[in-house]
Amino acid sequence: MDVKDIIKPENRVYAKTPVLTSTTMHYCPGCSHGTVHKLIAEVIEEMGIQEQTIGISPVGCAVFAYNYIDIDWQQAAHGRAPALATATKRLHPEKYVFTYQGDGDLASIGTAEIMHACNRGENIVVIFINNAIYGMTGGQMAPTTLIGMKTATSPYGRDPKLHGQPLKITNLIAQLEGTCYVTRQSVHNAASARKTKRAIRKAFENSALGKGTSFVEVVSTCNSGWKLSPVKANEWMVENMFPEYPMGDLKDR
Amino acid sequence: MALRGAIVVDTEKCKGCSVCVVNCPTQTIALAREVNSKGYNYAYMESPESCTGCTNCATVCPDTCITVYRIKV
């Protein structure tokens, strides 16, 4: 059978969701951001909530998320996405509100905002991209950087005596009463991407049920910041990031 | 009953990251020797007869530039 006979509209099993715009993403080749954007867009399409969803984009590489997912967006000052999401959700309780934040945004400058939003149990979804580095600004050390990991500001590797220990902020957030669902996922292969999509869907459903804050960490790569090829970065992540940030649900109620 | 599949890559959007190549369970995909207008070696079906249309490549593609087709034969 010829390929031409297979490529027909009636045989199509996977195509780009219309919730994702056709703008070419500015992300580096192989960046996890693109995959997570797509999963969020697919969940929005499947739930039929494109008109009811408001995203809060962060400061960081994902600041331009509003160019890629065709929903309403606001853009927050660095780390303040949960505060903006709180206001948005309280003013529009019928809407689905989510923040999309990196580790520099959420676990460093925005620690106060995320902790208190989660503790208040705002009915929002938090998508947390943890790639253990500041990607946009040139690969500086983040709170989540692993011990011994070389970055622009820790050229000899992160030293716990000098720089402290990696901050497992998701574990802290799981302790807070306001959160109903806290999970850690990844998107390095098809199986894990599908699991992450289910987690994002569950998080959006929780917010409609008014159960509290849902927090989805996606352990991700920054191949440019890590100075590795996309495929090598995924392998490095499995080998080094997963022992420190193990996959799975930390809380589900 | 066997499954036959095929993919169509938006070669201008593809950045040649190879994540689809390593995620293909049947080694169907490879990067082309040719480049697109941005200079990336884009993904293509090197051995189209082995594609089963499993959608793994499209699921992991960060730039969502793969469309998948599948039939039962």
Residue of A nearest to B16 (CA): A29
Please answer yes or no on whether B59 and A193 come within 8 Å at the CB atom: yes
CA A221 to chain centre: 11
Task: List alpha helices for chain A, DSSP H.
Answer: 3-6, 32-47, 81-91, 103-104, 111-120, 160-163, 169-174, 190-209, 223-226, 230-236, 242-244
> With contact defined as beta carbons under 8 Å apart, do A6 and B4 qualify?
yes
pLDDT tens for residues A224-236? 999 999 999 999 9
Nearest-CA distance A193 → chain B (Å): 7
Q: Cβ atoms within 10 A of the Cβ of B39, count?
A: 8
Closest partner CB to B63 (pick from A25, A190, A229): A25
Residue of B nearest to A12 (CA): B69
In sign, the C-alpha dihedral spanning B53, B56, B61, B62 is positive
Nearest-CA distance B33 → chain A (Å): 17
Between chain A and chain B, the number of residue pairs with CB atoms below 8 A apart is: 100
Q: Which stretch of DSSP H or E encloses residue B40? A: none
pLDDT tens for residues B32-42? 999 999 999 99
Q: Cβ atoms within 10 A of the Cβ of A160, count?
A: 10
Closest CA to A201 of A44, A53, A49: A44
Please answer yes or no on whether A30 and B59 come within 8 Å at the CB atom: no
B68 close contact with A: CB closer than 8 A? yes
State the pLDDT at residue A211: 96
The whole model's pTM is what? 0.96
* Residues above pLDDT 90, as percent of chain B: 96
How far, CA to CA in Å, does A137 sit from each of A31, A153, A224? 15, 11, 11
Cα separation, A4 vs B6, in Å, equals 9
pLDDT tens for residues A44-74? 999 999 999 999 999 999 999 999 999 999 9
**Which residues of A are less than 8 Å from B40 in CB distance?**
29
Residue of A nearest to B14 (CA): A29
Sorting pLDDT into bands at 50, 70 and 90, what band is A2?
confident
In sign, the C-alpha dihedral spanning A156, A153, A112, A146 is negative
Is the pLDDT score of A1 beyond 90?
no
- For residue A132, which phi and psi values (nearest 5 degrees)? 65, 25
State the pLDDT at residue A33: 97
